[in-house]
Amino acid sequence: MKIIEVENLKKTFNGFTAVDGVNFYINQGEIFGFLGPNGAGKTTTINMLTGMAKITEGKVKLMGEDYTRNAKKAQAMMGIVPDESNLYEELSGWENLVFCGALYGMEKYLREERATQLLQQFGLAEAASKSFKAYSKGMKRKLAIAAGIIHQPEILFLDEPTTGIDVAFARQIRNLIVDLHSKGTTIFLTTHYIEEAERLCERLAFIVQGKIVREGTVEEMMKETQGENIVNFTLGGDFTKIEEEFRSHFPDFNLRMGKNNDVSIHSPSTFTLFPFVQFFEERSLPVFEAKIVRPSLEEVFVKVTGIELQKMQSEQNQKGRKSQKGGGSRS
């Protein structure tokens, strides 16, 4: 069954089109993901689906029922975890959860029981009575997810659940998401981490500049790279100096720059490594490592969107800086 159906959804802000006619659906019980760079329109889409933003054009349905003009009737069935915390700093973790349960009309004993159980499940039992402002960023995010599911919604929206969270907590949060999924929760998540999308989502859509450029299951997406041969070289110097020369020397190969001095070579047919090694060595670029790369979603994403991974990364950093600054000025 389709929990959410979205038809030709559009959002403009004073003439600027942030979401440009997207179509997608989310099946019951699955994790559906939006993967796209910063500014692609992921948050705006979630806001329209959850009633935080007015819909400029298009239609949204929850379990077959249109709620485009009346999000209130759908909100009871939604759990929403925004990209930034929106819990009460002065309340404890437990009080925050109980309060959120009350917003959905849960009876006192029920919401208290569930709050205690969720804190246990999320490894926050010891911090239950600590005030939210004393929580670390990772703990805050976990509590926000717990608050999002306290009323056992039909669908959970997670906007960039691991962005800005340190590695250990990010792993915990991904495990929690997998765990929720295995218990039957339907999840819509957005991310700009390709591996995260690949690891967590059953179906996903690439979104770039407000448009969905590809949509399907991870397996379907991976077909794009079938037969692709990729070898990654780690060089002892800067490749960009000889890039031009390389391209004219090996016109049939595609190139992709990686981190540091990594460069990967793509070809639809198999190829031998020796000519490349020789080419690099002759130009005083020692080859430290050459390895065959199994195509991943990363390759598909780059191929379909034309967005270099480095660019995604730099945008991520920018975003991290921006939100850090924002957080600083608020406190």
Partner 1 sequence: MKTWIAFSSILMKDMRSYYLKPPNISWGLIFPIAWTLMFFLRSPVAVEVRDLLPGVMALSILFGTTSMLAVTITFERKSRSFERLLLAPISLNLLMLAKTSGAIMFGVVNAFVPVIFASFLSDLSGINWFMVLGSVILIAITSTFLGLFIAVSVSQVFEAQTFSNFFRFPMLFLCGLFIPLSDLPAFLRPVSYALPLTYGADILKTAINYNGIISVPLSFLMLLIFSVILFAYSTYNVNRKWIL
By the rule CB under 8 A, 137 interacts with partner 1: no
| Among residues 4, 40, 139, 177, the one that binds ligand ADP under rule CB under 6 A | 40
* Secondary structure of residue 231 in the 3-state scheme: strand
Nearest to 310 by CA among 298, 323, 295, 292: 298
Q: Does 47 bind Mg ion (CB under 5 A)?
A: no
Instruction: Look at residue 265 and give the partner it binds from partner 1, ligand ADP, Mg ion, none, a contact being a CB closer than 5 to 8 Å depending on partner kind.
Output: none
Kindly tell me which residue out of 17, 52, 116, 303 binds partner 1, with binding defined by CB under 8 A. 52
Binding of partner 1 at residue 320 (CB under 8 A)? Answer: no
Say if CB 301 and CB 208 are below 8 A apart: no
The residue type found at 126 is: E
Quickly tell me which residue has 């996903």 as its tokens. 204
Q: What is the DSSP string of 13-55?
A: ETTEEEEEEEEEEEETT-EEEEE--TTSSHHHHHHHHHTSS--
Among 33, 37, 43, 106, binds Mg ion (CB under 5 A): 43
Tell me if 102 contacts partner 1 by CB under 8 A: yes
**CB 11 to partner 1: min, Å:** 9
Residue of the chain from 40, 53, 187, 194 that contacts partner 1 (CB under 8 A) = 53
> Which span sits near Mg ion by CB under 5 A: 42-50, 127-135, 232-240, 243-251?
42-50
* String marking each residue 66-85 x if it binds partner 1 according to CB under 8 A: ------xx-xx-x-x-x-xx
Q: Which stretch binds Mg ion (CB under 5 A): 41-49, 73-81, 88-96, 319-327?
A: 41-49
**Strand boundaries in the chain, DSSP class E:** 2-13, 16-27, 31-35, 57-62, 65-66, 78-81, 155-159, 186-191, 203-208, 211-217, 229-235, 254-257, 262-267, 287-293
Structure tokens at 49: 């689906």
Size of the site for partner 1 (CB under 8 A): 32
The yes or no reply on residue 39 touching ligand ADP (CB under 6 A) is yes
51 binds partner 1 (CB under 8 A): yes
Kindly state whether residue 106 participates in binding partner 1, applying the rule CB under 8 A: yes
| Residue among 268, 199, 196, 261 at smallest CA distance from 232 | 261
Nearer residue to ligand ADP within complex by CB, 36 or 153: 36
Angle at 264 between CA 262 and CA 265, to 5 degrees: 150
Q: Which chain residues interact with ligand ADP by CB under 6 A?
A: 13, 16, 18, 36, 38-44
